[in-house]
């Protein structure tokens, strides 16, 4: 992967993480670094899941892929927040 691809993956992952965080109701105790890392992981996993399903075979923006990635980020944010809440007790 080239540097430009890596930087764009980080930027898109951060955006996915923030959108995923907005989907989860309530206040989360998740820092910015964790949000970005969860967003990057969700974007990568969403791409891996959507590629075999043929969701990339559209012209223009792949809205279905974005939706899957944002939902995966929301699940990741909620899971991480719950895990941190249990560790504080």
Q: Give the pTM.
A: 0.84
In this predicted structure, what is the pLDDT of residue 77? 94
Half-sphere exposure of 12 (CA within 13 A, CB side): 15
Report the residue count for the chain.
Answer: 89
Residue 71 within a domain: yes
Q: How many domains does the chain have?
A: 1
57-85: per-residue pLDDT in tens?
A: 777 778 888 899 999 999 999 999 999 88
16-52: per-residue pLDDT in tens?
A: 999 999 999 888 889 999 999 999 999 889 888 888 8
Q: Which domain holds residue 10?
A: 3-20+30-88
Residue 83 within a domain: yes
Six token digits for residue 88: 């504080």
Helices 32-50 and 3-23 pack at an angle, to 10 degrees, of 100
Task: Tell which residue, 77, 24, 82, 70, has the closest CA to residue 45.
Answer: 70
Residue 25 within a domain: no
pLDDT-derived band at 1 (thresholds 50, 70, 90) equals low
In this predicted structure, what is the pLDDT of residue 52? 85
């Amino acid at each position: 992967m080239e540097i430009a691809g890596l930087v764009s993956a980080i930027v898109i992952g951060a955006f996915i993480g923030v959108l995923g965080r907005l989907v989860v109701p309530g206040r989360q105790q998740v820092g910015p670094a964790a949000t970005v890392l969860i967003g990057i992981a969700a974007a990568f996993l969403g791409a891996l899941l959507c590629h075999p399903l043929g969701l990339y075979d559209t012209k223009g923006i792949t809205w279905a892929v974005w939706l899957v990635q944002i939902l995966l980020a929301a699940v990741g944010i909620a899971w991480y927040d719950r895990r941190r809440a249990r560790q504080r007790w």
